[in-house]
Amino acid sequence: MAQAKVLIIYTGGTIGMIRDEKKGTLKPFRLNRMIKSIPSILDLGIEIHAMELEEIIDSSNMTPKVWIELAGIIGDQYEKFDGFVVLHGSDTMAHTASALSFMLENLAKPVILTGSQLPIGLPRTDARENLITALEIASMKNPQGQSLVPEVCIYFEDQLYRGNRTYKFNSENFDAFLSPNYPILAEVGVKIEVFEHRLLPHPNKDLVVRNTLSNKVGMVQLFPGLDLSPFVDMFISTGTELVILETYGSGNGPTDKGFLSAIRKLVENNVLVYNVTQCRQGHVQMGKYEASSDLARFGVLSGDDITIEAALTKAMYVLASTDDTKERAELMERPLRGEMSS
């Protein structure tokens, strides 16, 4: 069998940072130096190509513009490679993985995002293992010769996750990510054990890169004492088309008149309201409690068990894909890339 070919795309993040001695902060450095620091990469039996984005960033500076650039690179290089490894800061890695999962429609090859909690040059770094295993997973094939993992994933600290199910939950430990509503796709020990029955099916259509994203998405997190009405006025006056409402528990919110009329005002102004729970595990069930039955009655949409990161990027993608309000609502409520359970 021919050697697998994998493209590394370096965007920045701790993995490639060095200490700025003058300022005492971490700043990104260039890709070549980073790859040279792990000579064993050459022993993997994978043909590795690498490129970096023009601007190497801390992922706190991530923008939809960079997602469009990344999706474009993957689209342009798609036929030449068996898989892709995106080196990325962990802070917004779940957002980028979610965005790419929507933008890369009919993806049949692995796009594995990874990074690290300690820079690659440090003796105790987690970067080497993360990068090497991400490359291995990106090169894996099934017995039919297809890529084994046809999805956008995050690989971090021995676990492979569906990217759009994850969130960063720990800023200090090596296992920085969780996927509470969907089990891991692979576990890495002595062997790489891929749970194939959990993977998305291989598409039977060609890749389509959706390279437009809408910025008409708003988000507001409920908290006791919140006065929603100034936010509603701001959303309406700025042309927001979809508001993600981060609710309590199984999709609950206050039942007072002020709150409910603010929600009703959004709906009457043709703003879609998308109910996503602040709880990281479990799902929205509008109507289970009185505290959510009015939301359902007003036509608030259910995000089921979607993550906040996936809800945001899905909304950016859906609003850019169609102007039809009914179709937008229908797309937001059903899984498109395995990002929600039902």
Q: Which residues contact ligand ASP (rule: CB under 6 A)? A: 12-14, 58-60, 89-91, 115, 117
What is the rounded CA–CA span in Å between residue 30 and residue 87? 12
Q: Which residues are paired to 127 by β-bridges? A: none
What is the rounded CA–CA span in Å between residue 36 and residue 313? 34
Question: What does R_g of the chain's alpha carbons equal in angstroms?
Answer: 21
Beta carbon nearer to ligand ASP, 58 or 309: 58
Element (H, E) at 104: strand 104-105
Look at the block and give the residue holding tokens 């991400």: 134
What is the rounded CA–CA span in Å between residue 199 and residue 78? 20
Strands 111-114 and 152-156: parallel
DSSP string of 80-100, one letter each residue: G-SEEEEE--STTHHHHHHHH
**In the bound complex, what is the minimum distance in angstroms from residue 90's beta carbon to ligand ASP?**
3
What is the rounded CA–CA span in Å between residue 100 and residue 140? 20
Beta carbon nearer to ligand ASP, 59 or 275: 59
Beta carbon nearer to ligand ASP, 175 or 233: 175
Beta carbon nearer to ligand ASP, 171 or 281: 171
What is the rounded CA–CA span in Å between residue 84 and residue 114? 11
User: Which residues are catalytically annotated?
Assistant: 14
What is the rounded CA–CA span in Å between residue 185 and residue 176? 16
Q: Are 183 and 203 in contact (CB under 8 A)?
A: no
CA-angle at 240, arms to 275 and 264, nearest 5°: 55
Beta carbon nearer to ligand ASP, 3 or 170: 170
Q: Both ends of the chain: CA-CA distance in Å?
A: 39
Beta carbon nearer to ligand ASP, 90 or 252: 90
Buried b (16+ CB within 10 A) or exposed e, 77-90: ebeebbbbbbbbbb
